[in-house]
């Protein structure tokens, strides 16, 4: 029997089973239909000519470029932090670990506007103002990356923690007994085994950064040709009644999100991840 397959049932139960699964599909199909209807509505609202015309806007092209650059930088920073934190949480035991684990979930559960407000308040403290004198952050380009990083990194950490938890530590222990230092065992044994998890974490962080709106709006503002990213472009275009441009930018974000999901499903699926984690 294939993993996850249901055992065979007597023929007299077939009708009851069909009614059971039909009920499940009716309940779940409502939400599936809503998502499909949203996508169809977006794609049918604007024509290709309107889409191209919206992309000719200098402000929208700037927002697209800034989004791509900031999301890529945020992804690199998230991986730089998420890999060591995920490894430490997976492989070590220390006092306060449960508290640290809960602390890392705060950016995930907090409302986005609260995160943006908290960042804004942080840079009004004496240390924050001292940093501002050296490098302007608030309502400047660095604030966009910091706002995206604050949220996206938490998702990357969770992904890497799960990845390292699923890697059998025996191969690492064998490398240590053969004379490898802990750092060598990490780079030569553990990290190659976690490559699909790293890709999943990077894709998730990038996609999350692309759609981040609340923290960016509060902490960075929505200044055109300065701190405007794609989500704030949608907000600004809607605020002036330019629905066609807002939908065009939204479609770009939908395409990017679908591409990210395809990458996760193809390269970070449970089956693929399981193959890469085998010792």
Which residues in the chain belong to E strands, given as ranges?
none
Q: Looking at per-residue confidence, does 44 or 194 come out higher?
A: 194
Give 162's pLDDT tier (boundaries 50, 70, 90): very high
* Closest listed residue to residue 245, CA positions, set 17, 47, 11, 25: 47
* Dihedral over alpha carbons 223, 228, 232, 234 (to 10 degrees): 110
pLDDT digits (tens, 9 = 90+) for 17-31: 888 888 889 888 889
User: In the block, which residue shows the tokens 């609202």?
Assistant: 45
Task: Say yes or no to pLDDT of 38 above 60.
Answer: yes
Task: Say yes or no to pLDDT of 216 above 60.
Answer: yes
Task: Say yes or no to pLDDT of 5 above 60.
Answer: no
Q: Name residues whose C-beta falls within 8 Å of residue 7's C-beta, 6 or more positions apart in sequence.
A: 1
Predicted local confidence at residue 268, as pLDDT: 57
The CA distance from 168 to 5, in Å, is 26
Task: Say yes or no to pLDDT of 225 above 60.
Answer: yes
Q: What is the mean pLDDT of residues 195-213?
A: 91
User: In the block, which residue shows the tokens 């990077």?
Assistant: 202
Would you say the pTM of this structure is higher than 0.85?
no
Q: Looking at per-residue confidence, does 9 or 231 come out higher?
A: 231
User: In the block, which residue shows the tokens 């990490």?
Assistant: 186
Give 118's pLDDT tier (boundaries 50, 70, 90): very high
- Give me the long-range contacts of 185-194 (CB less than 8 A, separation at least 24): 186/87, 190/87, 190/164, 191/83, 193/167, 193/276, 193/277, 193/279, 194/83, 194/160, 194/163, 194/164, 194/167, 194/276, 194/277
Task: Say yes or no to pLDDT of 270 above 50.
Answer: no
The CA distance from 253 to 247, in Å, is 10
Predicted local confidence at residue 82, as pLDDT: 95
Predicted local confidence at residue 125, as pLDDT: 92
The CA distance from 198 to 193, in Å, is 10
Q: Name residues whose C-beta falls within 8 Å of residue 252's C-beta, 6 or more positions apart in sequence.
A: 64, 230
* Dihedral over alpha carbons 191, 192, 196, 200 (to 10 degrees): 30
Average confidence score pLDDT of the chain: 85
Task: Say yes or no to pLDDT of 272 above 50.
Answer: no
């Amino acid at each position: 029997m294939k993993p996850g397959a249901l055992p065979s049932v007597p023929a007299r139960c077939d009708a009851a089973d069909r009614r059971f699964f039909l009920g499940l599909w009716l309940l779940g199909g409502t939400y599936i239909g809503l998502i499909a209807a949203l996508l169809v509505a977006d794609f049918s609202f604007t024509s290709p000519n309107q889409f191209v015309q919206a992309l000719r806007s200098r402000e929208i092209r700037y927002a697209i470029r800034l989004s791509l650059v900031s999301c890529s930088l945020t992804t690199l920073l998230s991986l730089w932090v998420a890999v060591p934190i995920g490894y430490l949480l997976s492989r070590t035991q220390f006092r306060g670990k449960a508290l640290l684990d809960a602390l890392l979930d705060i950016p995930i559960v907090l409302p986005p506007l609260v995160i943006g407000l908290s960042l804004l308040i942080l840079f009004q403290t004496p240390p924050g103002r001292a940093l501002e004198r050296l490098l302007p952050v608030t309502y400047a380009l660095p604030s966009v990356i910091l706002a995206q990083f604050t949220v996206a990194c938490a998702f990357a950490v969770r992904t890497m923690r799960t990845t390292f938890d699923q890697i059998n530590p025996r191969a690492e222990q064998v490398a240590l007994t053969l004379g490898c230092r802990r750092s060598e065992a990490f780079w030569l044994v553990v990290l190659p085994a976690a490559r699909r998890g790293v890709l999943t974490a990077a894709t998730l962080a990038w996609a999350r950064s692309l759609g981040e709106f609340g923290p960016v709006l509060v902490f960075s503002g929505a200044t055109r040709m300065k701190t405007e990213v794609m989500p704030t472009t949608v907000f600004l275009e809607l605020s002036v009644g330019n629905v066609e441009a807002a939908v065009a930018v939204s479609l770009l974000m939908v395409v990017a999100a679908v591409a990210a999901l395809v990458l996760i499903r193809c390269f970070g699926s449970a089956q693929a991840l399981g193959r890469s984690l085998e010792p």
